[in-house]
């Protein structure tokens, strides 16, 4: 049984709505950590690109001829014009051309052409490459890092959590459906919601039917007082039950089983892999779901949910996806709803902070990591 040994305070309430604190979190977390911004399957050809908003920053990610990626600020070096106005597109002829004065860059960022040759002695095109930012791929997921020199390499940052889904062929999957959801809450509220199942009995009755352990308000059997690790083996994760095989409304699997996961992993029906603060990925026997989180203000955020299937799978008809969309979409809606209620209540002048109860140990860890990141930044 994993618990906190005493009730502990949450983060201060004003960290969830204060504009200045929000700016500090952008600097200490979102502009310094590795942040997931999309999937490789969104960039199929050389020159394909997408644009991501991260805080106040607009970043372009594009695919180079050698299959690697380049990421750069969506800003021309000449007078600062936005290079890409669309959310996604394709750079023709390997050229990023500014729509204002047609300064032209190679997709790798080098300035390769300006109209009306600039002939002053001091001008050297090498000094005018696009503002590059770090970009790395982990099994099809694209991460960027806006700091000049990231403290950790991507694999150090991701840590052991990558093992949870090691048997799913993540790099060979593609998004067959995507939804973006704007929520009127601070980004931390959503991550806290994800980090406990104390709310499940009340908020997710349909989900509890296919994952009965959630009826008890815990993330998994390992959180129950009578859990015996010797007897129960290492199944410390949540598992479907009551006859259900996966996270669909009726618990049935209607798409082909994904090759890779073990029998035990398939039987479990659901496996989580979490990469705070921007991504979690959930493996099911027949599909994978990724949920990306982006702050858009002190009291607003955006979710991007992707439903992934093996690349080889051809869904001839969108209708065939309904079973894997139905329950999981409902659960996100239910979570979004209580997250927004949580946000509003924090403004009470009497509410300095809330209380974490023993089951909410993952929230404590999350809060500690935030306190540490803020402290680290301030020491600099």
Which residues of the chain form contacts with its own copies (CB under 8 A)? 4-7, 10, 13, 31, 56-58, 73-83, 85, 99-102, 114-116, 118-123, 128, 131, 146, 192, 198-199, 201-203, 216-218, 338, 341-342, 344-351, 354-359
Nearer to its own copies, 289 or 367 (CB): 367
Q: Are 281 and 289 in contact (CB under 8 A)?
A: yes
Nearer to its own copies, 164 or 224 (CB): 224
Nearer to its own copies, 161 or 340 (CB): 340
Closest approach, Cβ 304 to its own copies, in A, equals: 21
- Residue 63 phi, psi (nearest 5): -100, 130
- Residue 207 phi, psi (nearest 5): -65, -40
Residue 70 makes CB contacts below 8 A (sequence gap 6+) with 61, 62, 64, 107, 108, 109, 132, 135
Q: Any alpha helices (H) in 40-180, and if so which ranges? A: 154-158
**Residue 293 bridge partners (DSSP):** 303
Closest approach, Cβ 152 to its own copies, in A, equals: 20
> How many angstroms separate the Cα of 84 from the Cα of each of 2, 58, 98, 180, 277?
48, 10, 8, 20, 27
**Residue 104 bridge partners (DSSP):** 97, 113
Nearer to its own copies, 134 or 139 (CB): 134
Nearer to its own copies, 225 or 233 (CB): 225
Closest approach, Cβ 147 to its own copies, in A, equals: 10
How many residues are given for the chain? Answer: 380
Nearer to its own copies, 31 or 307 (CB): 31
Nearer to its own copies, 162 or 184 (CB): 184
Closest approach, Cβ 144 to its own copies, in A, equals: 13
What is the Cα–Cα distance from 340 to 238, expressed in whole angstroms?
Answer: 26
DSSP secondary structure code for residue 242 in this structure? T
Q: Any alpha helices (H) in 221-302, and if so which ranges? A: 229-232, 263-268
Q: At what angle are helices 187-194 and 322-345 packed, to 10 degrees?
A: 120
Nearer to its own copies, 95 or 216 (CB): 216
Closest approach, Cβ 337 to its own copies, in A, equals: 8
**Residue 282 bridge partners (DSSP):** 272, 289
Closest approach, Cβ 16 to its own copies, in A, equals: 8
Q: Any alpha helices (H) in the chain, and if so which ranges? A: 19-25, 154-158, 187-194, 200-203, 205-210, 229-232, 263-268, 322-345, 361-379
Closest approach, Cβ 175 to its own copies, in A, equals: 27
Q: Are 37 and 144 in contact (CB under 8 A)?
A: yes
Structure tokens that stand for 244 in this block: 């259900």
What is the Cα–Cα distance from 95 to 65, expressed in whole angstroms?
Answer: 12
DSSP secondary structure code for residue 322 in this structure? H
Nearer to its own copies, 44 or 100 (CB): 100
């Amino acid at each position: 049984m994993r618990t906190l040994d005493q009730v502990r305070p949450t983060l201060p309430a004003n960290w969830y709505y204060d504009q200045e604190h929000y700016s500090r979190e952008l600097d200490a977390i979102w502009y310094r950590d590795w942040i997931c911004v999309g999937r490789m399957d969104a960039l199929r050809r050389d020159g394909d690109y997408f644009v991501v908003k991260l805080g106040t920053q607009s970043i372009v990610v594009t695919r180079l001829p050698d299959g690697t990626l380049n990421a750069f600020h969506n800003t021309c070096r000449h007078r600062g014009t936005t290079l890409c106005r669309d959310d996604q597109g394709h750079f023709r002829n390997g050229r990023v051309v500014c729509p204002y004065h047609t300064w032209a860059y190679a997709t790798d960022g080098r300035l390769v052409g300006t109209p009306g040759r600039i002939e002053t002695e001091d001008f050297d095109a090498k000094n005018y490459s696009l503002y590059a930012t770090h970009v790395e791929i982990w099994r099809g997921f694209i991460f960027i890092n806006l700091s000049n020199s990231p403290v950790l390499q991507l694999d150090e940052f991701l840590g052991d959590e990558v093992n949870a889904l090691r048997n799913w062929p993540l790099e060979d999957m593609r998004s067959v459906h995507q939804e973006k959801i704007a929520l009127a809450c601070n980004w931390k509220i959503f991550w806290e919601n994800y980090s406990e199942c104390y709310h499940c009995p009340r908020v997710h009755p349909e989900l509890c039917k296919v994952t009965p352990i959630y009826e008890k308000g815990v993330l998994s059997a390992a959180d129950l007082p009578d859990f015996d690790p010797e007897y129960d083996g290492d199944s410390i994760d949540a598992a479907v039950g009551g006859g259900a095989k996966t996270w669909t409304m009726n618990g049935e699997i209607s798409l082909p089983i994904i090759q890779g996961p073990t029998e035990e992993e398939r039987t479990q029906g659901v496996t989580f892999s979490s990469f705070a603060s921007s991504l979690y990925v959930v493996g099911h026997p027949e599909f994978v779901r990724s949920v990306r989180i982006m702050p858009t203000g002190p009291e607003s955020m955006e979710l991007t949910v992707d439903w992934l299937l093996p690349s080889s799978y051809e869904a001839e008809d969108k209708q065939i996806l309904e079973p894997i969309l139905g329950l999981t979409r409902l659960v996100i809606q239910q979570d979004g709803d209580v997250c927004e209620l949580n946000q509003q209540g924090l403004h009470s002048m009497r509410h300095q902070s809330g209380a974490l109860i023993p089951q909410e140990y993952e929230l404590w860890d999350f809060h500690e990591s935030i306190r540490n990141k803020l402290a680290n930044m301030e020491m600099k």
